[in-house]
Amino acid sequence: MPLLRSQIEDIKAEALNLGFDVFGIALPQPTPHTEFYQQWITGGYHAEMQYLSNQRAISMRKDPRLILPSAQSVIVLATRYTKPHDLPTEQQKGLGRISAYACSQDYHHVIPPRVEILVQTIQKIAGVTKSIEALHYTDTGPVMEKDFASQAGLGWVGKNTCLISPLYGSYIFLSVCFLNLEMEPSPPFLDDRCGNCQRCISACPTQCIRPERFIDARRCISYLTIEHRRVIPVEIRPAMSNWVFGCDICQMVCPWNKRVDRLQTPVLIQPKEDLFFPQVFSELGLTDQEFKQKYGKTPISRTRRKGYIRNLAVVAGNLRHPACISPLSKLLSDEPDAIIRGHAAWALGNYHLKKTKQILLNRLRTEPEPYVRAEIINALNSQ
């Protein structure tokens, strides 16, 4: 027996009480973009994210009934986060930039426990004595969550590939919860409100948003600064500008995010103001322990110190702030990790100063690692 409309209204009210901003219901059926997803993987556009391309990831996206065979409905929830801040102009030169979603406590620690509470409440509202079967993901499962969100009426997938809510824009986290309860699905969101707009495509600094409405992750700053573990391609480094972790450009230019300013209600996950714009020259010297202490409970921890310092080195090379020369030089001579040393060499090469050239020449005499030697030689050749 399907739940009554009044019961669904009660569940929705409880979801909003718990801090979720949007609630909708979809059916646990194959969604429209699974073939497209397969083509994206086959084309290699997912870069090295094997967790997106393994057999389990593909078959579960193709047939969501494999996720929870008893599922009869999928609740989709959106949780807003604070939009990116404007760069403080007076110190602009020495500051990096962190993607807004990451400037707070890790959402994986906040949202899933609330979905759990919602499931318990649903059990009470539904009046079933046996435990209901539920499986939920917030950004962690092999699920076409943006398709489910559209089908549950939350919004449409924009040309920047983000789910855009007409009310809340795209600064949102999505959660999906598969349930073995029958519920009437919400009306799907069928409009494409991007229209003729191309702002995200034009603004993307690496031109990785393809007109077919997918992203070539191999060139995307978000991917390269967060998920990618190895050397950042040299041709992409200048385009990173001051993005140390992630990139919000294709969302910042979206007109649907302008109205977010007018929203009065507070966000569930409060931002940590000191995370938005790291001071590059001081952060270049972070030890492993300091990195864990500062970022361990935030999404920034995903890069670990190694990825974070690598990204900072690229940003330092783009900013060419005089205060970064000394910590970059220290990294080039003392850092045990070759990838960090290589990126520090690239950054020093960008200064085009006698002093930085000498630092590179000195290191070339003792550097044992072929990759780092190649970075130093390239940096010297660019002088």
The distance of closest approach from Cβ of residue 193 to ligand SF4 in the complex, given in angstroms and rounded to an integer, is 7
Question: Per-residue contact track with ligand SF4, 329 to 358, x per CB under 6 A?
Answer: ------------------------------
What single string gives the DSSP state of each residue in 80-142? E-PPPPPPPGGGGGGB-EE-GGGSBS-HHHHHHHHHHHHHHHHHHHHT-SSPPPEEEESS-SS
Least CB distance to ligand SF4 at residue 375 (A)? 23
Nearest to 58 by CA among 81, 75, 33: 33
> Based on C-alpha coordinates, what's the Rg of the chain?
23
Q: Which is nearer to ligand SF4, 74 or 208 (by Cβ)? A: 208
Among 167, 253, 263, 353, binds ligand SF4 (CB under 6 A): 253
Stretch that binds ligand SF4, among 70-78, 250-258, 304-312, 337-345 (CB under 6 A): 250-258
> Does 254 interact with ligand SF4 (rule: CB under 6 A)?
yes
15 Cβ contact partners less than 8 Å away, ≥ 6 residues apart: 23, 75, 77, 118
Q: Point out which span in 20-28, 83-91, 246-254, 339-347 binds ligand SF4 (CB under 6 A).
A: 246-254
Based on the shown chain and the rule CB under 6 A, indicate whether residue 100 belongs to the binding site for ligand SF4: no
Which own/partner contact pairs does 53-62 have at CB distance under 8 Å and 24+ positions apart?
56/142, 57/142, 58/142, 60/141, 60/142, 60/143, 61/34, 61/37, 61/142, 61/143, 61/144, 62/30, 62/34, 62/38
Q: Which is nearer to ligand SF4, 213 or 304 (CB)?
A: 213
**Closest distance between ligand SF4 and the C-beta of residue 158, in Å?**
3
Please report how close the Cβ of residue 174 comes to ligand SF4 at its closest, in angstroms: 16
Could you give the angle at the alpha carbon of 210 between the alpha carbons of 165 and 77, nearest 5°?
25
> Does 150 sit near ligand SF4 (CB under 6 A)?
no
State yes or no: residue 250 binds ligand SF4 (CB under 6 A).
yes
Residues 181-240 that bind ligand SF4 (CB under 6 A): 194, 197-200, 204, 206, 208-209, 215, 220-222
CA 239 to chain centre: 18
Residue 252 is a binding residue for ligand SF4 (CB under 6 A):
no
Residue in the shown chain whose Cβ atom is closest to ligand SF4 = 158
Q: Which stretch binds ligand SF4 (CB under 6 A): 44-52, 80-88, 245-253, 289-297?
A: 245-253
Using DSSP's 3-state secondary structure scheme, residue 245 falls into: strand
Given the residues 10, 21, 106, 139, select the one marked as catalytic: 139
Q: Long-range contacts for 49-53 (Cβ within 8 Å, ≥24 apart)? A: 49/217, 49/223, 49/227
The Cα angle at residue 62 between residues 59 and 64, in degrees rounded to 5: 90
Q: Closer to ligand SF4 by CB, 30 or 205: give it.
A: 205
Angle 60-213-39 (CA atoms, 0-180°, nearest 5)?
Answer: 45
Selected from 25, 244, 249, 314, the binder of ligand SF4 by CB under 6 A is 249
Active-site residue, 139 included:
yes
In the bound complex, what is the minimum distance in angstroms from residue 111's beta carbon to ligand SF4?
A: 22
**Is residue 64 within 8 Å of residue 29, measured between CB atoms?**
yes
Closer CB to ligand SF4, residue 186 or residue 222?
222
Cα 379 to the center of its chain, rounded Å: 31
Q: Note the residues at the interface with ligand SF4 (CB under 6 A).
A: 158-160, 194, 197-200, 204, 206, 208-209, 215, 220-222, 247, 249-250, 253-256
Active site residues: 139
